[in-house]
């Protein structure tokens, strides 16, 4: 994964000389995402800058990638997991200039200049800007879920800018905003188009659909296998929860063979390393060690202190570009872990984001009144992932040049898991009166693959699992950071998404230092970020309306109440 920056609508003969150094300086603000190499394409109408993190074809594959005739120029942040299948389908009609998995985007565009005809064929995580020199046309697109970040806006002269992170555009574009996932933009007509649509978004399309445990399991195994595509050392994030442990279990099965040649040769780095972090004595560290011992990974469990986490907060908020309370809490230990991982020479990790959104793993899903409500809430949560967990995982890791991949959000796996009737995912009560735990359908599909104490471990928010003292410490410290009068006047100081707690005010103030202006504030969703604040959840249980704390422990009648 890398970073991209582009500027279009240049005035030929007037803009190129002053704009090139400006574009380079702005791109340097996100170079942490791509410390391995910098590339520039400059023409009279467009500038593209790329900061590369070399994972596939590290010796080649530099960007921006130009077609053989120089007509197409491409800058991509991301990975295209099915690039070889797509290349084979083109039958050699495009002359590839590199071994990069991303160059297939140029090839597909050369074959058909309507991106709407082929974008949905890409299985990967990506944000790209493609410049067609002949047509004078820019095409910009983002992956279906929004795993890779992308921002856009216009400068004072009306030029269009795009960048992987907001920090590159913050003082340049007064209208900076997130580019929407699952869409592409065509500068030829100024239109934004949705390309990612699925029947399963509507509950009616899922009614009565069953997915056998074996089908679900095999679909996930294929997703993990696909996403292990790498020519550099990689590992897995292992919190000891169900999701990360399943990722690790699948990865451990495939780690000895090289994915890029269809498992035909031994992997360059065949031993799977796993990583965890927490306060001393945290639940996650203990559970991660149990999972690692069972799977045989080379495990690295790191500790941090509340003081170290608090010291990092300004950097964390500057990197994640959010003031959302849950996101900041969870991003901080992840940010510290990424630094440790980077120090060990690892450039890519597999992570478990997305499972709770797909299978209703958050504890408030226990309160869902029926399958329709359950399904509609999973779709809503998936639509918001790019503002929360995907943002956290990507930016916390990429702050230190470590790429996070998310197999649960593989589009082929999504199609299997989301077409299932939600009644099979719902929590229910057995005949003996015990509760069927959340995500049972996923746990049952992998029966025997993990120790029962991991397979049936209940959901912990990541910011809880690293140690309850982390959240409690932040809330206590916030009392001394923000005066009562400041919080009372929060609406006046922060008219866009005003904070409602002292902890939220503290993070918002740190965010404003790095990202001033209302446009930046609007890129962060308002309100509380998990179950307790959802209007839908409040309909399920009115008690959620009074829950000011987004911690999973706030759902007190459910946390640690479910039994396997």
User: How far, in Å, CA of 127 to CA of 125, rounded?
Assistant: 7
- Alpha helix (H) residue ranges in 82-190: 83-89, 104-111
Handedness of CA 163, 169, 170, 176 (dihedral sign): negative
User: How far, in Å, CA of 140 to CA of 1, rounded?
Assistant: 17
Q: Are 238 and 231 in contact (CB under 8 A)?
A: no
Q: Are 307 and 327 in contact (CB under 8 A)?
A: no
- Alpha helix (H) residue ranges in 255-370: 283-295, 306-320, 325-343, 355-359
* Beta-sheet strand order (sheet of 160-163): 37-42, 46-52, 3-8, 160-163, 151-154, 177-178
User: How far, in Å, CA of 64 to CA of 54, rounded?
Assistant: 13
- Count other C-beta atoms under 10 Å from residue 536's C-beta: 16
146: closest CA among 459, 491, 389?
389
What is the Cβ-side half-sphere exposure of residue 213, based on CA atoms within 13 angstroms?
A: 10
Token pair, residue 318, equals: 């500057």
520 carries an active-site annotation: no
Query: Which of 2, 148, 173, 250 is labelled catalytic?
Result: 2
User: How far, in Å, CA of 299 to CA of 514, rounded?
Assistant: 36
- Computed on alpha carbons and rounded to an integer, the radius of gyration of the chain in Å comes to 23
Q: Are 381 and 368 in contact (CB under 8 A)?
A: no
Dihedral in degrees, nearest 10, Cα atoms 170, 171, 176, 181: -30
Q: Are 242 and 442 in contact (CB under 8 A)?
A: yes
- Count other C-beta atoms under 10 Å from residue 59's C-beta: 9
Beta-carbon contacts of 331 under 8 Å, excluding residues fewer than 6 positions away, are: 316, 319, 320, 322, 392, 395, 396
Active site residues: 2
């Amino acid at each position: 994964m890398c970073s991209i920056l582009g500027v279009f609508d240049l005035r030929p003969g007037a803009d190129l000389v002053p704009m090139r150094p400006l574009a380079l300086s702005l791109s340097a603000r996100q170079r942490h995402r791509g410390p391995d190499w910098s590339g520039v394409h400059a023409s009279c109408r467009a500038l593209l800058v790329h900061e590369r993190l070399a994972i596939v074809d590290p010796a080649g594959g530099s960007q921006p990638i130009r077609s053989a005739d120089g007509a197409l120029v491409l800058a991509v942040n991301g990975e295209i997991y099915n690039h070889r299948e797509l290349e084979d389908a083109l039958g050699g009609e495009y002359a590839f200039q590199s071994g990069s998995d991303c160059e297939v985007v140029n090839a597909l565009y050369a074959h058909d200049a309507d991106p709407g005809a082929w974008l949905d064929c890409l299985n990967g995580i990506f944000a790209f800007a493609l410049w067609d020199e002949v047509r004078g046309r820019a095409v910009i697109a983002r992956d279906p879920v929004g795993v890779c970040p992308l921002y856009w806006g216009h400068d004072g002269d009306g030029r269009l800018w795009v960048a992987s992170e907001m920090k590159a555009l913050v003082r340049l574009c007064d209208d900076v905003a997130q580019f929407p996932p699952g869409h592409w933009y065509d500068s030829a007509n100024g239109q934004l188009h949705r390309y990612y649509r699925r029947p399963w978004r509507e509950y009616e399309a899922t009614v009565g659909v069953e997915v056998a445990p074996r089908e679900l399991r095999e679909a996930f195994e294929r997703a993990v296998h696909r996403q292990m595509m790498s020519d550099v050392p990689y590992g897995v994030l292992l919190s000891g929860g169900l999701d990360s442990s399943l990722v690790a279990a699948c990865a451990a099965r495939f780690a000895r063979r090289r994915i890029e040649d269809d498992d035909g040769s031994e992997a360059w780095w065949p031993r799977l390393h796993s990583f965890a972090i927490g306060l001393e004595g945290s639940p996650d560290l203990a559970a991660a060690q149990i999972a690692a011992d069972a799977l045989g990974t080379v495990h690295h469990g790191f500790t941090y202190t509340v003081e170290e986490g608090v010291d990092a907060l300004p950097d964390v908020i500057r990197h994640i570009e959010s003031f959302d309370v849950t996101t900041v809490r969870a991003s901080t230990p992840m940010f510290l872990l990424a630094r440790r991982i980077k120090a060990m020479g690892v450039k890519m990790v597999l992570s478990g984001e997305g499972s709770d959104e797909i299978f209703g793993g958050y504890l408030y899903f226990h309160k869902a009144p029926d399958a329709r409500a359950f399904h509609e809430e999973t779709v809503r949560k998936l639509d918001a992932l790019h503002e929360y967990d995907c943002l956290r995982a990507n930016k916390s890791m990429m702050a230190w040049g470590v790429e996070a991949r998310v197999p649960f959000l593989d589009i082929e796996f999504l199609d299997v898991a989301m077409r299932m009737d939600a009644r099979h995912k719902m929590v229910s009560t057995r005949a003996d009166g015990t509760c069927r735990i959340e995500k049972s359908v996923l746990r049952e599909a992998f029966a025997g693959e993990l120790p029962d104490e991991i397979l049936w471990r209940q959901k912990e928010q990541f910011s809880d699992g690293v140690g309850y003292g982390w959240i409690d410490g932040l809330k206590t410290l916030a009392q001394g950071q923000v005066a009562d009068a400041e919080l009372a006047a929060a609406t006046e100081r922060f008219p866009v998404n005003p904070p409602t707690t002292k902890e939220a005010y503290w993070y918002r103030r740190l965010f404003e230092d790095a990202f001033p202006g209302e446009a930046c504030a609007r890129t962060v969703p308002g309100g509380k970020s998990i179950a307790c604040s959802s209007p839908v959840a409040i309909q399920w249980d009115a008690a959620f309306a009074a829950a000011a704390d987004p911690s999973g422990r706030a759902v007190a009648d459910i946390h640690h109440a479910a039994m396997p």
